Amino acid sequence: MTDLEDYRKELDAIDQELVALFEKRMHISQAIGNYKVAHDLPIFDEGREQRVAEQNLTHLKSDEFAVQTHHFLDTIMDLSKEVQKDVRAASNDYEQIFAIHEPKQPAQIGYFGETGSFCEEAMLAYFKEAPRDPKNYHTFESLFLAIQNGEIDYGVLPVENSSTGAISQVLDLLYKYGLSIVGEQYIKIEQHLIGLEGTSLDQIEEVYSHPQGFQQSTDYFKYHEQWRQIPFHSTSDSAKMVKDSGDAHKGAIASRRAAQIHGLSILAESIQNQSENTTRFIIVGKDLESNPRCNKVSVVFSLDNQAGTLFKLLRHFARYHINLIKIESRPVEGEKWEYLLYLDFEGNIADENVHEALRFIHRSSVYFRLLGCYIAATENK
């Protein structure tokens, strides 16, 4: 027998013991996983992992393989966490995530803002037939509450603007109320400074608008810093308020349509920073709706607060050839430095690769929810 064969025999015997011990360790780790799910504890315990490494390094006869031993223990604990994630995933009813509902017809629609709002425009553009007696709401949250209570079936809200980015309150409310995205619509946004008929710019002392109206028009306001900027419910509510006040010192940032509807004049035209200023609106409903024509998926999830977790997860989008459209992060309420990740990507939940990727995200996340699978809007729709 050669020396090599002797060595290999020795290794075989050691591996046999290692595998038996590894299997035993994984069973215990699985039991810990069940305990953690039952007691709502996080899988990753940094302090415990440090102690495991420290105490085991003291068992070494010399420092020669200290680095490798550390790596070995880390790898074992990574595998142990994988098993615990499977335990956690199995505890959630995975199939429930994909429960699809039929669209509601005829539906009661609601939108954010006063009549003349951009949301009303988005609603009229999205629904093929103009909805009958739509209801309007003056805060994002009151619209979410109305959907939750069944007062309306669908609500139209802004979620992202091309110059100011995500409208984070809407993302937070999607998580808070557990509602679903059933569709989306782009609307080109032109903001105007409007006031009472016959008013001139030098009479203006204060301007009302939704915070988005101000944020999208910061360049214009650089030259009018003496004007008080007063945040109000929506751009269209601001227009109505200016009209109702009858006060020539008040102006509003709103659309041309809002000016016409509320009988106001345009004092300064197209004051938004970006000429191509566009907002993406979402149609929110109570349940998940999807059909084979849907080609965009939105999810929200949170990860264990551990180095490399996000990378390990996003890597799978490349592996499954899924085109990521957008990623947005928001702090978790009440949890310091913990984040929820909102992800949009191309595909349909019935596609094999999307299904696999979602299964993986679900398994790797502490919290996971499929927000919607819907038809991606085109900007010139």
Ligand X SMILES: O=C(O)C(=O)C[C@]1(C(=O)O)C=C[C@@H](O)C=C1
Active site residues: 279, 281
Say whether residue 44 binds ligand X (CB under 6 A).
yes
Q: Is 342 in the site for ligand X (CB under 6 A)?
A: no
Q: What angle do CA 14, 19, 21 make, to 5 degrees?
A: 95
- Taking alpha carbons only, the member of 80, 132, 141 closest to residue 106 is 132
Q: Does 29 bind ligand X (CB under 6 A)?
A: yes
Contact 223, 288 (CB under 8 A): no
The residue written with tokens 């979402």 in the block is 282
364 binds ligand X per the rule CB under 6 A? no
SS3 376: coil
Closest to ligand X by CB, 45 vs 346, is 45
Distance, in Å, from the CA atom of 304 to the CA atom of 345, rounded to the nearest integer, reads: 22
**Binding span for ligand X by CB under 6 A among 46-54, 106-114, 216-224, 336-344:** 46-54
Residue nearest ligand X by beta-carbon distance: 80
Nearer to ligand X, 6 or 46 (CB): 46
Residue 45 binds to ligand X (criterion: CB under 6 A): yes
Tell how strand 206-209 and strand 192-195 pair up. Answer: unpaired
Q: Minimum distance between the CB of residue 39 and ligand X, rounded to whole angstroms?
A: 11
Strand, helix or coil for residue 162: coil
- Which residue lies nearer to ligand X by CB, 45 or 151? 45
Helix or strand run (H / E) with residue 236: helix 235-245
Q: Is the separation of the CB atoms in 22 and 75 below 8 Å?
A: no
Measured from the CB atom, the residue of 53 and 230 that comes closer to ligand X is 53
68-97 binders of ligand X (CB under 6 A) = 77, 80-81
Closest contact distance (angstroms) between CB of 28 and ligand X is 8
Give the interface with ligand X as residue ranges (CB under 6 A): 29, 32, 44-45, 48-49, 52, 77, 80-81
